[in-house]
Structure 1
């Protein structure tokens, strides 16, 4: 069983916010695509923990990024949305109907599909709320797709380094 507490969750949120703001936001790939790493908190939060605390922490995480970037709640909305629908995304990824969720029961393709779909939804919400214009619909979609792929690579490396699939 994982021994994470609210204190360690808050420390992780602060670290992810600092990494996102001071490192990744300055690391634009092709001067256009900014990878996101802070949603790993939402993706890998233990399923058995209190859902209301989880949604609140997800909101605070997104709000912290919004305050630093001046994006007026867009990241908070996207982060809370993927937090709220995380169980549904997980069930869709695994085609399971059980109430017990664990990354250990997934094969790698299901695990990677869960990560990519979650990141894609997050980026879709963030970028369409920030840049939406009907004349730029295709351009924003391409931006969402490329940013999702880049973010997926960063999150996959994070999962490998911290052995997420083995210990959550």
Structure 2
């Protein structure tokens, strides 16, 4: 588990955490909507690599964001949860079995499947994160609206990331 890829992923975690904390946390749209670009790490993590390493790395990335923002573990929980359900969603979208996942690449997804994959994981992450941040049922409609708007903003930045690092990501 602790090989060259794991160490490269640790460096990626550090870069994404620093970008989120020092750049993207200071980008606010309409005063309260911000992108959470650090989820790119989980979205583009190669599906053929160790899924347990992904869970550990996702937890560490979320925990790092929580430490910087004093948020008590909500980022770690939300990111670890989407890392946990990522492969089942890929299998569902691509129609793959467990033994076929080591040969799977994101290139085999159609554009619509890829958009659905990004949208469902991004919306789920934001919904969990903002629900835990709000943690009351009376404001569920504003929380849902904020999660959808934040997801849209994040998806724009994910697409920009994809365009900038076209050959570097797994898609």
TM > 0.5 fold call: yes
Unmatched 5+ stretches in structure 1: none
Over 3 Å counting, the alpha-carbon distance change for 1:164 and 1:148 in structure 2 is farther
Distance of aligned partners of 1:38 and 1:111 in 2 relative to their CA distance in 1, 3 Å threshold: same
1:106 pairs with 2:109: yes
Unaligned 5+ runs, structure 2: none
- Alpha-carbon contact 2:130-2:143 (below 8 Å) kept: yes
Q: CA deviation at 1:91?
A: 2.5
1:146 aligned partner: 149
Q: In the alignment, is the contact (CA less than 8 A) between 2:24 and 2:35 conserved in 1?
A: yes
Distance 2:33 2:63 in 1: 21
Check conservation: 2:62, 2:75, Cα contact below 8 A.
Answer: yes
Tell me the CA shift for residue 166 of structure 1: 7.0
In the alignment, is the contact (CA less than 8 A) between 2:44 and 2:170 conserved in 1?
no
Deviations 1:126-149 (A, max 9, x none): 000011322211011000010001
Larger displacement relative to structure 2 (58-67 or 6-15): 6-15
- Cα distance, 1:11 vs structure 2: 1.1
Q: RMSD of the TM alignment (CA)?
A: 1.6
Aligned mates of 1:8, 1:146 — CA distance in 2: 32
What is the rounded CA distance, in whole Å, between the counterparts of 2:31 and 2:150 in structure 1? 12
Q: Distance in 2 between matches of 1:103 and 1:57?
A: 20
Partner of 2:37: helix, strand, or coil?
coil
Counterpart position of 1:55: 55
CA contact (8 A) 1:58 1:79 kept: yes
Q: Superposed, which structure 2 residues align to 1:1-168 within 5 Å?
A: 5-94=5-94, 96-98=95-97, 99-100=100-101, 101-163=104-166, 167-168=170-171
* Count of residues in Structure 1 that have an aligned counterpart in Structure 2: 164
Cα distance per residue 1:79-100 (max 9 Å; x no partner):
1000000012223333x13323
CA contact (8 A) 1:104 1:165 kept: no
